[in-house]
Amino acid sequence: MTERGGPREGRFDVDREQMGRDLVALVLTVVELLRQLMERQAIRRVEQGDLSDAQVEQIGETLMHLEERMTELCDQHGLRLDDLNLDLGPLGSLLPRT
């Protein structure tokens, strides 16, 4: 039994700064996964010939800006894009580099 106001059993210290970095990394991982999925879909549509030249150019510019922004966000938080990749064991990596 613990005294009132004393430390509780099973309690652990939480490093709030590390927890914040981990949360940022998780959010950026999800955003990077979505960015890569959008890029693959855009490539498929370009290869199918579904898009006009103007649409292809706009998609290319948008994807380029998204990648630049991801790099900036990683830099701001002391991360690299490679840090966002998760090892899924026998399934391989979450984010295969495109």
Q: Domain extents for the chain?
A: 19-81
User: What is the tens place of the pLDDT at every residue in 19-67?
Assistant: 788 888 889 999 988 988 999 999 999 999 988 999 999 999 999 999 8
Q: pTM score > 0.85 for this model?
A: no
Residue 95 DSSP one-character state: S
Cα angle at 36 between 34 and 37, to 5 degrees? 65
Where does the pLDDT of residue 69 fall: very low under 50, low under 70, confident under 90, or very high at 90 and above?
A: very high
Alpha carbons 67 and 30: distance in angstroms, whole number: 14
**Mean pLDDT across 72-81:** 90
